[in-house]
Amino acid sequence: MHELTLTSEVCKVVAEASKGQRVTAVHLEIGKLSGVYAEAIRFCFELVSAEFPELAGAALHITEPEGRARCRRCEQSFTLHSALEACPCGSFELDWISGRGLIIQAMEVTSCAESAAVRA
């Protein structure tokens, strides 16, 4: 199960970054075109976070940004509704801006807030 592997990866990274501090919340960005199901991540997080003492009882916040890309030919940026979409000008040479990845945006620990940007 893809989501379970991803969630384990996220929990491992967050637990390491917390350096033993208690994590109260984890903020994840899951792009709408990443192919990752946010609901499945939420479900897996309940199971996986219980295995890490640093993450016990931590809340999970998920944002799901739209897929956006910039065209290399006409330099227009636009919203993508599918990973196979082309630019309105017909070009497939696109640079993705958002919506394709799973990113750990931030984590909150008991003593202070720390941010981490990690691509998984």
Q: Site residues (CB under 5 A) for Zn ion?
A: 71, 73-74, 87, 89, 91
CB 113 → Zn ion: shortest distance, Å? Answer: 39
Reference 14, options 65, 64, 63, 48; nearest CA is 48
CB 85 → Zn ion: shortest distance, Å? Answer: 11
CB 34 → Zn ion: shortest distance, Å? Answer: 23
Residue 20 or 90 having the CB closest to Zn ion: 90
Residue 63 or 91 having the CB closest to Zn ion: 91
Q: Cα dihedral angle (15, 36, 119, 93), rounded to 10 degrees? A: 180
Q: What's the rounded Cα separation, in Å, for the pair 64 and 5?
A: 19
Q: What's the rounded Cα separation, in Å, for the pair 112 and 120?
A: 24
Residue 16 or 75 having the CB closest to Zn ion: 75
